[in-house]
Amino acid sequence: MWEEQKMRQWLQQHLPAGRYAHCEGTAETAVALAARVGVDKYKAHLAGLLHDAAKSLSLAEMRHYAEGEPLLDTMLWNSRNLLHAPASSGLCRRLFAVDDEGILAAIRWHTTGRVGMTLLERIVFLADAMEPTRNYRGVEEIRKAAQDSIESGMLASYRETFCFLLESGQPIHPAGIVARNAILEELRPTKGEPLP
């Protein structure tokens, strides 16, 4: 794997300053969350720092790096907003030579989430949504919910994201819907019982 300093330099050269600051913020918040739940802080730091590595690439460049990453569908393949996650994971694997599958998966799934997310994946998902430079409607609710648990914070984040997508007439990727349902089920007091 590249030296961290070299990866930081690459990020600074390939991301606008605000996006780079968001990556630093995500790394910092991911470390704080990792400390809370006993996850490896360095992995959380690295996954947070690198999660948006491909964010500013063109669609063609994203497709190049995303090739071979798990579960790509037409909707992902045609959206820079969605494709940047598998593209960032592919870029970290192929360019930076990151070989930790846990870190790569946390990067891969940071936009939609997935059913059965690891703690590291959950941490990066939530840190991305609520790191200190984030400043969108509803972010305070996410930060507040995250004080209860990572899963509560994630649910709040899904709520804000889905509301935004519905209100702005955009599609919702099905992976996000099933991932959110899975977290909702985990938090349900009568887990496994029939729904109302």
Stretch that binds Fe ion, among 67-75, 128-136, 156-164, 187-195 (CB under 5 A): 128-136
Question: Taking contact as CB under 5 A, which single stretch among the options 68-76, 126-134, 148-156, 160-168 is the one that binds Fe ion?
Answer: 126-134
90: left (phi over 0), alpha (psi -120 to 50) or beta: alpha
Residue 52 binding Fe ion, by CB under 5 A = yes
Q: How many residues bind Fe ion (CB under 5 A)?
A: 2
Task: Tell me the window of 40-48, 51-59, 65-73, 180-188 that interacts with Fe ion (CB under 5 A).
Answer: 51-59
The tokens for 94 are 């192929």
Q: Interface with Fe ion includes 128 (CB under 5 A)?
A: yes
Nearer to Fe ion, 146 or 193 (CB): 146
Binding site for Fe ion (CB under 5 A): 52, 128
